[in-house]
């Protein structure tokens, strides 16, 4: 059983770390226990994603969703350029640009600093719905050292307004017929970069960061879409102008029609913070009783509701993840009085301020012309016998 395997694996990881406190150990194990029922059977949805065009991305298969923490070998990976294999002996992180004291750090230097963990659900902003790209998401326990004190030590100059995170991976870009080599990079405003939650991350679920997830170091920016979490980090550069690279200003741009004083305006924004979202993950049957499982993330989740066959919204039960601000919540609904035949299931998440995950026909979704940041309500179809 998958669940037991994960627990055993976690046990090995935890016991390998000599001084892991018993309380932490217990709570981690407890948190991973999925609200599943022994021997239940998963009923496949009718709307299946097509065969993944890029199997190497290792996307999440929602019907196999059975762990609050996504194990490293089941975590998706997306790389836009090459996938550098880095020898940590030859690697350094450089802090450069508009700082008083340019600095370099080896991996051991970073590991010697304050260590922090965050459980954060990383979602690719391209995850735009069934039956297309949906599995670019996973939840991991990321370990590393906080970024803000490192930047403080380097001393940002007053005119430094932009912090650029540059990866080791590179590709060719073309602007106005000019071809040039570029490294993958994303930026944040000085204020966003200094957020105490940001980590220079070298560990994923208690193991060194896997190569495809950015070994030896990546940025983990809890609350931001995947694209902001720069992998294979090699240089952090402080500038006095906005960074305009491909993944900030050209690609990963949301284009939406908005109404300004009754006029239609096309607005372009760079993909940014995660948005409130939920998805029905799977339906199971045990002794003729059905249970719907799902996840909700991207905001501080107050509740999740389900609509079956266009009926009233029914509250689901949130079972896991309430304690972790940036992690997905796992919810379930015991589905009674089910008749044979075809059914639709829709979920919506509501945040602690009362904001509701938008319906697909909400102008925020319907008037969006690029597929990024698609947090509309997901409808799934199923046939029961
Ligand atoms: N250096 C680098 N960082 C990157 C990327 C990349 O191509 N190169 N892809 C980004 C995108 S689009 C996503 S969704 C996340 C995926 O993180 P993962 O591969 O660890 O799942 O990494 C981000 N960081
Ligand atoms: Mo992404």
Express each pLDDT in 329-364 by its tens digit. Answer: 999 999 998 899 999 999 999 999 999 999 999 999
Mutate to test the pocket of ligand 1, among 202, 213, 227, 248 (most ligand atoms within 8 A of CB): 227
pLDDT of the residue at 10? 42
Considering only CA atoms, which of 339, 341, 300 is closest in space to residue 318? 300
Within 6 A (CB) of ligand 1 lie 75-81, 122, 124, 136, 167, 169, 184, 213, 226-227, 229-232
CA distance 168 to 236: 11
123 CA from centroid of ligand 2 (Å): 7
Q: What is the mean pLDDT of the chain?
A: 91
Torsion angles phi and psi, residue 227, rounded to 5: -55, -30
pTM over 0.95: no
272 to 227, 255, 269, 275, 372: CA distances (angstroms): 8, 13, 8, 9, 10
Kindly give the distance from the C-alpha atom of residue 39 to the centroid of ligand 1, in angstroms, as a whole number: 36
Q: What is the pLDDT of residues 62-111, one digit of tens each?
A: 999 999 999 999 999 999 999 999 999 999 999 999 999 999 999 999 99
pLDDT of residue 19: 38
Instruction: Label residue 40 exposed, middle or buried (CB < 10 Å: 0-12, 13-18, 19+).
Output: middle
Q: What tokens appear for 146 in the block? A: 């906080």
Distance 336 CA to ligand 2 centre (A): 38
């Amino acid at each position: 059983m998958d669940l037991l395997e994960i627990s055993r694996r976690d046990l090995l990881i935890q016991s390998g770390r000599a001084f892991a406190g018993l309380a932490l150990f217990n709570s981690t194990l407890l948190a991973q226990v999925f609200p599943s029922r022994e021997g239940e059977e998963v009923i496949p949805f009718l709307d299946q994603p097509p065969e993944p065009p890029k199997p190497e991305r290792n996307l999440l298969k929602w019907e196999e969703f059975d762990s609050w923490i996504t194990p490293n070998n089941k975590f998706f990976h997306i790389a836009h350029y090459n996938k550098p294999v880095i020898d940590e002996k030859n690697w350094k992180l450089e802090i450069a640009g508009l700082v008083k004291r340019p600095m370099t750090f080896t991996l051991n230097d970073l590991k010697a600093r304050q260590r922090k963990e965050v459980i954060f659900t990383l979602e690719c902003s391209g995850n735009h719905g069934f039956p297309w790209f949906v599995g670019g998401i996973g939840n991991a326990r990321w370990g590393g050292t906080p970024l803000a004190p490192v930047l403080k030590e380097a001393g940002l100059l007053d005119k430094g307004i932009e912090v650029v995170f540059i990866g080791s991976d590179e590709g060719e870009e073309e602007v106005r017929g000019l071809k040039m080599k570029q490294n993958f990079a994303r930026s944040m405003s000085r204020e966003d970069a200094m957020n105490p939650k940001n980590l220079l991350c070298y560990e994923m679920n208690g193991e060194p960061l896997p190569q495809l997830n950015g070994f030896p170091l990546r940025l983990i920016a809890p609350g931001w879409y995947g694209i902001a979490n720069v992998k294979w980090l090699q240089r952090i550069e402080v500038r006095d102008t906005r960074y305009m690279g491909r993944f900030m200003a050209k690609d990963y741009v949301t284009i939406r029609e908005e109404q300004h004083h009754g006029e239609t305006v096309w607005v372009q924004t760079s993909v940014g913070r995660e948005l409130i979202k939920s998805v029905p993950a799977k339906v199971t049957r045990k002794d003729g009783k059905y249970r719907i499982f799902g996840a909700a993330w991207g905001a501080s989740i107050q509740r999740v509701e389900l609509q079956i066959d266009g009926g009233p919204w029914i509250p689901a039960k949130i079972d896991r993840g309430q304690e972790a601000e940036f992690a997905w919540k796992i919810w379930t609904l015991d589905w009674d009085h089910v008749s044979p035949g075809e059914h639709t299931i829709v979920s919506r998440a509501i945040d602690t301020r009362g904001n509701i995950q938008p319906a697909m026909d909400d102008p925020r979704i319907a008037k969006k012309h690029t597929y990024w940041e698609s947090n509309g309500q997901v409808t799934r179809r199923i046939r029961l016998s």
